[in-house]
Amino acid sequence: MERKTSVRTNTRLVNKLVFTFLLLTLTLSAVVVAPSALAEPLRANVVSASPNDLDQAGVPQAIVFEIFKPELPDPPPPTWGKTIAGVNDVEVVIRGEGHTRRFPTEDVGGGRYRTEIVFPEPGGWTIRVSYGAGAYGPADEIDLGKGGICIAADCVGPQPEEATPAASSGWRSTKNAVIAAAMLAVPLFVAAVYRFAPRGRRRRTVPSA
């Protein structure tokens, strides 16, 4: 009787441990995944550019671009996602040939922004959009369209945008690693608990003569 009571108590303890571990794992996953919707950066695509085919440095180019929140699954252009109006402190930032230039923008409504940019020298340039924090998420700097352009030069080898990946990619990698580790830990923990959990001994029955 005492052995049965001990086994029953140990089983309850194991079940509580398993439940607690699963609860902690689910909580950790929620903490990691839930903020990702807010932490996921916005995106920006060019709507129009004039002149469209820029082939020399020093020429002003008027551009209109759209800032949006990506949707899953990705809808086809021209609807890339939900447009975000009223984004704070929007600037177009170009980098290349040892220069960094910032161009303020004008909010023209409907999640679209307008500015005029100038590439001062030939060569490879990154083109990004920086913005401040707001209800849409934290401040960030994102690619504008493909994120780079080659002006009046033969750009060979890695382009500037390939050398400066988006800052949010680190968070995304960390989030995925934590989720994968949690998913792997659950079955291993459960298997280990039930493998080494105490069990009652089966009573041997001696056949009668």
* Spatial separation of the C-alpha atoms in residues 13 and 5, rounded to whole Å: 12
What percent of the chain is predicted at pLDDT more than 90?
A: 42
Q: Is the pLDDT of residue 117 over 80?
A: yes
**∠ Cα 33 129 49 (to 5°):** 130
How far is Cα of residue 52 from the mean position of the Cα atoms in its chain?
31
Pick the CATH number of 42-165 from 2.30.30, 2.60.40, 3.40.50, 1.10.287: 2.60.40
The whole-number pLDDT of residue 1 equals 55
Q: Is the pTM of this model over 0.75?
A: no
pLDDT tens sequence across 47-80: 999 998 888 899 999 999 999 998 765 555 555 6
